[in-house]
Amino acid sequence: MTKTAWVFPGQGSQAVGMGVDLLTHPTAAAKYQTAQSILGWSVPDICQNHEDKLSRTLYTQPCLYVVECILADLMQERGHQPHLVAGHSLGEYVALYAAGVFDFATGLALVKRRAEFMEDAAGGQMAALIGFNYEQLLAQLAQTPNVVLANDNSDAQVVISGTPEGVETLIASIKVKRAVKLNVSGPFHSPLMAPAAAEFQKALESVPFTDAKVPVLSNVEPTPATAAEVLKERLSQQMTGSVRWREISAQLPQEGIEKVVEIGPGKVLTGLIKRTSGQLVLENVSGAADLPG
């Protein structure tokens, strides 16, 4: 049997119309109904009819979680199971769900609170950098206050986060092919998120986790773990910690993984994994039409 990892994308991968093709599946219909009772609004309605809301953290994160969980459920209903899971930022919550660490409703309630705290964060800036000298970037980050490596995606693509001044200073001090400021409400995955993270921690502490059925590679610590207390502790650090996706990508073949299936809209993660671990077989399940038999 081919040793397979499932990976789940995070904020930025959302697309208008995502999940609408799943509405006819009984599993999906039940999940959408549960989600509406928790959120107070309809995920399919937002995904279909409200592009402005879909791009807002408050809605983006729950929508992605719900759609990706449904796709993971449908994969499992068809007899497919991962040997290992990982998710990028918000996607880590779907990975934990797919690994059986918490149930759908528990995870969605956490994601709802996370989205609310992150939506309220302000006073920061994030920027994607493409095409640079990686060692030079790390050296400059160490010398520049109030800016950190938020998403370490690959040697050629990262996201930095911090104060507007810190981000501007860093961009001006290195040679970069392209720098794109992100339309986000706050400095995610940086120490500036500490107040939001402290509030979220109160919600996280009250939620019971169970041991994962398959190993999880966490954003802040890309080594496999299944113990409930370890996974919860790692998740508690995620809001202020860096998403170490480059290391996760490199770790996959070290764990004997031969194939990676990205479950969710877009192909961002398989694109990043291809750069770091190009020998892996890569597949994408973005919607109903991509589901294997």
DSSP assignment of 122-172: -S-EEEEEEEE-HHHHHHHHHHSTTEEEEEEEETTEEEEEE-HHHHHHHHH
pLDDT category of residue 251 using cuts at 50, 70 and 90: very high
Last residue of a domain, one of 134, 158, 181: 181
**Domain co-membership, 169 together with 255:** no
Start-to-end CA span in the chain (Å):
16
What pLDDT is stored for residue 135 in this prediction?
Answer: 95
Amino acid present at 93: Y
- For residue range 184-233, list pLDDT tens digits in order: 878 999 999 999 999 999 999 999 999 999 999 999 999 999 999 999 99
Domain that holds residue 202: 4-121+190-290
- For residue range 5-45, list pLDDT tens digits in order: 999 999 999 999 999 999 999 999 999 999 999 999 999 99
In angstroms, the CA 60 to CA 64 distance is 6
**Domain co-membership, 117 together with 131:** no
How many domains does one find in the chain?
2
**Domain co-membership, 100 together with 29:** yes
Last residue of a domain, one of 140, 162, 181: 181
What pLDDT is stored for residue 103 in this prediction?
Answer: 98
Last residue of a domain, one of 133, 155, 181: 181
CA distances in angstroms from 116 to 38, 111, 200, 207, listed in the order given: 14, 9, 9, 17
Domain of 201, CATH number, reads 3.40.366.10
Q: What is the pTM of this model?
A: 0.97
**Domain co-membership, 60 together with 104:** yes
What pLDDT is stored for residue 208 in this prediction?
Answer: 95
**Domain co-membership, 37 together with 105:** yes
In angstroms, the CA 73 to CA 255 distance is 24
What average pLDDT does the chain have? 96
Amino acid present at 139: A
**Domain co-membership, 107 together with 240:** yes
What residues are labeled active site?
89, 189
**Domain co-membership, 194 together with 157:** no
Domain of 136, CATH number, reads 3.30.70.250
**Domain co-membership, 142 together with 272:** no
What pLDDT is stored for residue 72 in this prediction?
Answer: 98
**Domain co-membership, 75 together with 89:** yes
The CB density around residue 194, as the number of other CB atoms within 10 Å, is 11
What pLDDT is stored for residue 281 in this prediction?
Answer: 97
pLDDT surpassing 80 at residue 122: no
pLDDT surpassing 90 at residue 69: yes
**Domain co-membership, 93 together with 28:** yes
pLDDT surpassing 80 at residue 145: yes
pLDDT surpassing 90 at residue 255: yes
**Domain co-membership, 247 together with 109:** yes
The CB density around residue 114, as the number of other CB atoms within 10 Å, is 25
What pLDDT is stored for residue 123 in this prediction?
Answer: 82
**Domain co-membership, 214 together with 105:** yes
Burial of 242 by CB count in 10 Å (0-12 exposed, 13-18 middle, 19+ buried)? Answer: buried
pLDDT category of residue 293 using cuts at 50, 70 and 90: confident
Best-predicted range by mean pLDDT (20-24, 54-58, 192-196, 256-260): 256-260
